[in-house]
Amino acid sequence: MELTVYLAGQIHDDWRKTLKAKASDQNLPIHFVGPMENHNRSDNIGEEILGEQPNAIYKDEVASQMNNLRTRVLMVKSDIVIALFGEKYKQWNSAADAASAIAWNKPLILIRPKELHHPLKELSEKAQVTVETVDQALQALSYIFDEN
Amino acid sequence: MELTVYLAGQIHDDWRKTLKAKASDQNLPIHFVGPMENHNRSDNIGEEILGEQPNAIYKDEVASQMNNLRTRVLMVKSDIVIALFGEKYKQWNSAADAASAIAWNKPLILIRPKELHHPLKELSEKAQVTVETVDQALQALSYIFDEN
Amino acid sequence: MELTVYLAGQIHDDWRKTLKAKASDQNLPIHFVGPMENHNRSDNIGEEILGEQPNAIYKDEVASQMNNLRTRVLMVKSDIVIALFGEKYKQWNSAADAASAIAWNKPLILIRPKELHHPLKELSEKAQVTVETVDQALQALSYIFDEN
Amino acid sequence: MELTVYLAGQIHDDWRKTLKAKASDQNLPIHFVGPMENHNRSDNIGEEILGEQPNAIYKDEVASQMNNLRTRVLMVKSDIVIALFGEKYKQWNSAADAASAIAWNKPLILIRPKELHHPLKELSEKAQVTVETVDQALQALSYIFDEN
Amino acid sequence: MELTVYLAGQIHDDWRKTLKAKASDQNLPIHFVGPMENHNRSDNIGEEILGEQPNAIYKDEVASQMNNLRTRVLMVKSDIVIALFGEKYKQWNSAADAASAIAWNKPLILIRPKELHHPLKELSEKAQVTVETVDQALQALSYIFDEN
Amino acid sequence: MELTVYLAGQIHDDWRKTLKAKASDQNLPIHFVGPMENHNRSDNIGEEILGEQPNAIYKDEVASQMNNLRTRVLMVKSDIVIALFGEKYKQWNSAADAASAIAWNKPLILIRPKELHHPLKELSEKAQVTVETVDQALQALSYIFDEN
Amino acid sequence: MELTVYLAGQIHDDWRKTLKAKASDQNLPIHFVGPMENHNRSDNIGEEILGEQPNAIYKDEVASQMNNLRTRVLMVKSDIVIALFGEKYKQWNSAADAASAIAWNKPLILIRPKELHHPLKELSEKAQVTVETVDQALQALSYIFDEN
Amino acid sequence: MELTVYLAGQIHDDWRKTLKAKASDQNLPIHFVGPMENHNRSDNIGEEILGEQPNAIYKDEVASQMNNLRTRVLMVKSDIVIALFGEKYKQWNSAADAASAIAWNKPLILIRPKELHHPLKELSEKAQVTVETVDQALQALSYIFDEN
């Protein structure tokens, strides 16, 4: 049995790369998917495909069409969603992805530093699992396959 | 036909009171519901019911159980969800409520000042309607009942 | 038991008024809902609420947000959807509303002149009932309540 | 991860062949499915299997049973639906397939020439992505797999 | 709390009338609905509305469209479905209605004489309750409201 | 807005009566439903309706058909499920009703004495709210309606 | 793309064997599943596993548990359901399986001799396709894969 | 066709090992999954991943998050759920897992010694199949694949 895990949340450091490398070291049968991590391309993808838009709002609208297509297709294919929140980037988008996962009945593993417990309390209560580090999230994934 | 509308989003000014008063002035057949607007009580409701908890994280956990019970019961009963985002309070919780509404197939009316278009672009693309003011949201609601 | 019936399809003549009057004459316990029938207002409702848009495509986009909000809220509330197609106005929009109704498991009563049978054949096959006149649609509705 | 994409819409030119060839050139892991593209056979398939019918309406009814079986089985298997609308053939059937996809929660990529924006405005608003050319649709598909 | 109960099954004697009268005598808060019990009208309703059809098969097809519209609308509104099978009329239609109820997650009360236990064994196993008489079915309904 | 609350769990004391009386004192707009509380009748209801069965297992089978009919009809109608577990009666049936509520997306309020936390830990984690007393459950219900 | 097809209906001749052989001759990528075709074993499977039961009704009950387990598991895995009705064996069970398939949104291909059109009219109206012979059903399946 | 079967219920003897070995001897195409069978690790997994918690209740809460993650992911992947109840360990948790399976429309095979028929009567009535031994459960599984 192989699981597919969607990695939502901030795209400003390489936590996804770290997580994938460690999962691979442990030979976990997990296939990871996620959003476009190149922030500039993610912001410009609408105009890249459709050409210049009349203003910044419509530039964002068409970029979001493309990014939401990607998120939606990949999240629907996933068995578990992990969302990481960091101190610096308080993205609404990450919270929305996490809540979509929950509402679609995908178990959510929420990663957040202890300092963020208050603003994320409702999301944490709805998550299946809340942890503080990428390593702990990996342990939770690994536990699904452990035999004893 | 009467509609039930859940008012999600920031609880730091009285936008809900304004919206309800104007809807009432227009005799719209709409019943509004929403979260606890007394911020202190919302933060303390877990300990109010269950007594003191061992630390701040567990205090938040039990408060969120109560607040999420309320949100869940009332949102399931609603036909439409309105979520208002303001400049000051960048709550993940509001984004999560908005995304839950969408994932549960409730049409979302997103209210946000133009200045916030970039951080809310993905949510806006998924919303049924995006407007900038409470009055515009009311016009959208009113249009559902208009005869010509 | 009262039923709610959504009246989809062309908005260029007063077939809805006729149907409602006849249902009322027969005292059928049916509540009818439907789209905005004022064609101009329906086309302009986006700019009426949100102000002028940068071009005709975006004017249409915002108008559709408002019209789709109305259709979605009212169709979800309905037990049956009737869609009328006429010779003159070959609206894709009517076909889309009819297909949404079917996919949401709402029984569809399709009204179309015999001459249109070929272009509407797939929709007709998916409809619960296909008739040629408004009076026949009313007979089908009435039959639900008949005692013998 | 391989995706299945249903190609709905007009069957009067070879846009499907073009799209498949280009996707294959880019080694995209996509499996394309779609309707019977031989228009005559599609119109006659009911009588081909069941023999002559009493009139043209019933000939269409049995053909639609077979075509709708195919569409339904293949669309349910698909992760994404693309629908192309052209100037010449204003098929209600394409609009119905597009709306079914949306109502079944399949993300829709709508391809239409700019000139058709007005009659397709409601469908466009409900689509996940709206583009003007087959190449743009392919870019949107490709973006799902891009790493940066 | 009022319940709606759909009375499926044979239409060749007046078991529905008996059941309704007894429920009314006991003041049970139950609203009963069901198919057209006038057998001739049920067979002819398609041609009554749509005019003469080319042959007996198509006469049946259009009658079934009308009867299935009625069944579907009323069964969706019901909380419980009762299906009665008798010795004489081994209707596939009753079995189909009973199975639809089960598949739509409506609890089924199956009424059948003991002699029919073998041909109805699979349906009985899937039913929520199997009884032999109309009175027993009424007792099962009544038990839902009993206080002790 | 009125809520319906199903009271699952042990039937060996009068906790339901207490809860209802207190809710009534506070004028909460809540309608309570629940299982047959007369334990003997609940055990014998199958034979009461269907007559003597061949052995104790089949006596239980037919009683459960009737009790499960009641639970299922009433729980589907409910907005919230409360389940109370006590020291003495470790009924699997209560755990099953609680889990059904969760799986049907009904928010569960779990009431259990602190001493039972270990055997109920998985159920508690899945519940929306876990409390220790009937009064605390009532406070959680009441909070849904509180204005400040 | 491979399809799974469940073969419901009478088990008194070898129509399944015929259909499978012809599908195999045409290299159709279809995997067929279906009920136990050994009639005696199907009737006795409950007692075979659980030992002698107190009477014929309970023998049937336990046999049906096993047969319904098989049907349910295999039908859920299927993309299409074919149900064949013959002159001799008017099984309610086949009608129930056909209706379950429809209610679970599996497209149904109904095979019945012309003579049975009247008793099967409602089921036929709900089926995706109605044909008279096994060969015609195979043509309908084959058409799903045809390229022109 | 391969089936996935989740083995719920007591973890205090090696019934899972026995069942798997026998299924393997018979070459049944079944993949078995289940909970962590190391009882100590299952109780401590929360603190193993997240560190020491403030008290026993919160230790249980975090352990349950991890165990429920595992159960949920694996049960969603399963076609059938088997739950075994034994004399000694009357776990509410097993009853909850069994009820979740039923509410998620997974067929349940319930294994329980005859002596436990009374406390498990409601669950047994809702199960697809009830047997007394692991061997009988295996026979029921095997019957799904039998050709005659």
Split at pLDDT 50, 70, 90, the class of D87 is confident
State the pTM of this model: 0.94
Q: What is the pLDDT of residues G78-115, one digit of tens each?
A: 999 999 998 776 788 889 999 989 988 999 999 999 99
Q: Whose structure tokens read 């049973």?
A: D65
Tokens found for residue H59: 């230790």
Q: Find out whether D123 and D95 touch, Cβ atoms under 8 Å.
A: yes
Contact G125 E64 (CB under 8 A): yes
pLDDT for the residue A89: 64
Q: Find out whether B108 and B126 touch, Cβ atoms under 8 Å.
A: yes
pLDDT for the residue A23: 97
Q: What is the mean pLDDT of residues F13-40?
A: 95
Contact C69 B1 (CB under 8 A): no
pLDDT for the residue A87: 77
Q: What is the mean pLDDT of residues F126-138?
A: 96
pLDDT for the residue D88: 74
Contact D63 C92 (CB under 8 A): no
Q: Which of D84, D108, D122, D126 should one mutate to test binding to chain C, selecting the residue with the greatest count of C CBs within 10 A?
A: D122
Q: Which of D20, D42, D53, D65 should one mutate to test binding to chain G, selecting the residue with the greatest count of G CBs within 10 A?
A: D65
> Could you tell me whether strands E30-33 and E80-84 are parallel, antiparallel, or unpaired per DSSP bridges?
unpaired
| Cα–Cα–Cα angle for D94, C110, G127, rounded to 5 degrees | 80
pLDDT for the residue B87: 77
Mean pLDDT rounded to a whole number for chain A: 93
Neighbours of F37 (CB within 10 A): 18
All partners of chain B with 3 or more CB pairs under 8 angstroms: A, C, F, H
The predicted complex's ipTM stands at 0.94
pLDDT for the residue C93: 87
pLDDT for the residue H10: 86
Domains of chain D listed by start with CATH number: 3-35+78-144 (3.40.50.450)
Distance CA B117, CA B122 (A): 9
For chain G, counts of helices (H) and of strands (E)? 6, 5
pLDDT for the residue A56: 93
- If you measure CA to CA, which chain D residue comes closest to A63? D129
Which residues are G80's β-sheet partners?
G5
Contact B69 F140 (CB under 8 A): yes
Q: Is the pLDDT of residue F135 over 70?
A: yes
Q: Is the pLDDT of residue B89 over 70?
A: no
Contact C129 E72 (CB under 8 A): no
**E38 contacts on C by Cβ (under 8 Å):** 148
- Please choose, from the candidates D30, D35, D34, the residue with its C-alpha nearest in 3D space to the C-alpha of residue D141: D30
In a 13 Å sphere around the CA of D2, the CA atoms on its Cβ side amount to: 9
Distance CA B81, CA B101 (A): 7
Distance CA D144, CA D33 (A): 19
* Chain pair B-H, CB pairs under 8 angstroms: 6
Q: Is the pLDDT of residue A21 over 90?
A: yes
Per DSSP (E only), the strands in H1-148 are 3-9, 30-33, 80-84, 108-111, 129-131
Closest-CA distance of chain C to residue D96, Å: 5
> Could you tell me whether strands F3-9 and F80-84 are parallel, antiparallel, or unpaired per DSSP bridges?
parallel
CA distances from E118 to E112, E125, F78, G58, G99 (A): 11, 11, 37, 10, 20
Q: Is G105 left (phi over 0), alpha (psi -120 to 50) or beta?
A: left
**DSSP alpha helix (H) spans, A87-132:** 92-103, 121-126
Q: What is the pLDDT of residues F27-73, one digit of tens each?
A: 999 999 999 999 999 999 999 999 999 999 999 999 999 999 999 99
Q: Which helix (H) or strand (E) holds E80?
A: strand E80-84
pLDDT for the residue F148: 85
Split at pLDDT 50, 70, 90, the class of D148 is confident
Mean pLDDT, each 10-residue run in order, chain H (148 residues): 94 90 97 95 96 93 96 97 85 88 93 92 94 97 95
Contact H70 A136 (CB under 8 A): no
**C50 contacts on A by Cβ (under 8 Å):** none
**F144 contacts on B by Cβ (under 8 Å):** 69-70, 73-74
**A85 contacts on B by Cβ (under 8 Å):** 92
Q: Which residues of chain E have pLDDT under 50?
A: none
- Please choose, from the candidates E79, E77, E76, E61, the residue with its C-alpha nearest in 3D space to the C-alpha of residue E3: E79
For chain F, counts of helices (H) and of strands (E)? 6, 5
For chain A, counts of helices (H) and of strands (E)? 6, 5
Distance CA C111, CA C86 (A): 8
Q: What is the pLDDT of residues C101-126, one digit of tens each?
A: 998 899 999 999 999 999 999 999 99
Q: What is the pLDDT of residues C18-74, one digit of tens each?
A: 999 999 999 999 999 999 999 999 999 999 999 999 999 999 999 999 999 999 999
Closest-CA distance of chain B to residue C71, Å: 8
Tokens found for residue E92: 């596939």
Q: What is the pLDDT of residues G13-32, one digit of tens each?
A: 899 999 999 999 999 999 99
- Please choose, from the candidates A97, A33, A41, the residue with its C-alpha nearest in 3D space to the C-alpha of residue A66: A41
Q: What is the DSSP string of G71-98?
A: HHHHHHT-SEEEEE--SS---HHHHHHH
What DSSP designation does F54 have? S
Distance CA A89, CA A119 (A): 13
Q: What is the mean pLDDT of residues D91-97?
A: 88
Contact D55 E54 (CB under 8 A): yes
pLDDT for the residue C127: 95
Split at pLDDT 50, 70, 90, the class of A13 is confident
CA distances from E103 to F96, F97, G104 (A): 21, 21, 6
Closest-CA distance of chain H to residue F137, Å: 19
**A55 contacts on C by Cβ (under 8 Å):** 54
A83 or D87: which carries more pLDDT confidence?
A: A83
CB-closest option in H1, H107, H131 to G49? H131
Q: Find out whether B15 and B87 touch, Cβ atoms under 8 Å.
A: no
pLDDT for the residue H87: 77
- If you measure CA to CA, which chain F residue comes closest to E4? F73
Burial of F17 (0-12, 13-18, 19+ CB in 10 A): exposed
pLDDT for the residue E88: 74
Residues 6+ away with beta carbon under 8 Å from D60: C117, C118, C121, C124, D43, D46
SS3 sequence, chain D?
CCEEEEEEECCCCCHHHHHHHHHHHCCCCEEEECCCCCHHHHHHHHHHHHCCCCCHHHHHHHHHHHHHHHHHHHHHCCCEEEEECCCCCCCHHHHHHHHHHHHCCCCEEEECCHHHCCCCHHHHHHCCEEECCHHHHHHHHHHCCCCC
Q: What is the pLDDT of residues F61-110, one digit of tens each?
A: 999 999 999 999 999 999 999 999 987 766 888 899 999 999 889 999 99
Q: Whose structure tokens read 């304004």?
A: B18
Split at pLDDT 50, 70, 90, the class of C89 is low
